[in-house]
Amino acid sequence: MKEFNTRQFRDTLSAFATGIAVVTARDKFGKPVAMTVNSFSPVSLTPPLVLWSVDCGSDFFEEFSQADYYAVHVLRQDQQDVSTHFSTEMEDRFADMDTDKGVSNLPLLPNYCARLQCKMEHRYEGGDHLILVGRVLDIDHKPADPLIFHAGKYRTLE
């Protein structure tokens, strides 16, 4: 068997193109939290299940892993700035940000090409990440070209 290091593993995984999503939730005090992710994946049609995974070393690990609900916003190709915003460390990611209220008071972003509101159904350990499986309670879809992430870079459809 050939040995490989983390860098080589990351580079190999980066051949798999993904979309980009922003996941939102509320912490136990009701404060909104959000982060950019590309680990989102559909799981099951019946029942409707999706997953994403949170880094165990994330500053928001406790908030997301303990949340009972989360919302996934799949970003449009013109929302690279939104992806950068929600993956950059700052005091308050929701300052000057308009949000709507969703299921169980979930903070919802107004712009996306697809939005899924979920109730946490299962949590699975996955090495240095925790896999969060949610049951989809509500969906919204505004057809638009998606933002793509591939080989460590943002891409758009030709």
Residues at the interface with ligand FMN (CB under 6 A):
20, 35-39, 52-55, 58-60, 87, 89, 149
2 vs 53 by CB, closer to ligand FMN: 53
Residue 141 sits at φ, ψ, to 5 deg, of -140, 120
Contact predicate 61/130, CB 8 Å: yes
Nearest distance from C-beta of residue 134 to ligand FMN, angstroms: 14
| Whole-number Å distance between alpha carbons of 17 and 127 | 22
Shorter beta-carbon distance to ligand FMN: residue 144 or 148: 148
Min CB(24)–ligand FMN separation in Å: 12
Query: What is each CA distance from 133 to 40, 118, 147, in whole angstroms?
Result: 10, 9, 23
Tell me the two tokens of residue 84: 């950068």
Q: Minimal distance in Å, beta carbon 32 to ligand FMN?
A: 13
- For ligand FMN, give the closer residue by CB, 35 or 113: 35
Q: Which is nearer to ligand FMN, 3 or 85 (CB)?
A: 85
Minimum distance, C-beta of residue 3 to ligand FMN, in the bound complex (Å): 26
Q: How far is CA 21 from the centre of its chain?
A: 5
Is 19 within 8 Å of 40 (Cβ atoms)?
A: yes
For residue 105, the Cα-to-chain-centroid distance in whole angstroms is: 18
Tell the smallest beta-carbon distance from residue 91 to ligand FMN (Å).
12
For residues 33 and 106, which CB has a smaller minimum distance to ligand FMN in the complex?
33
Query: What is the spatial distance between Cα 80 and Cα 100, in angstroms, rounded to a whole number?
Result: 21
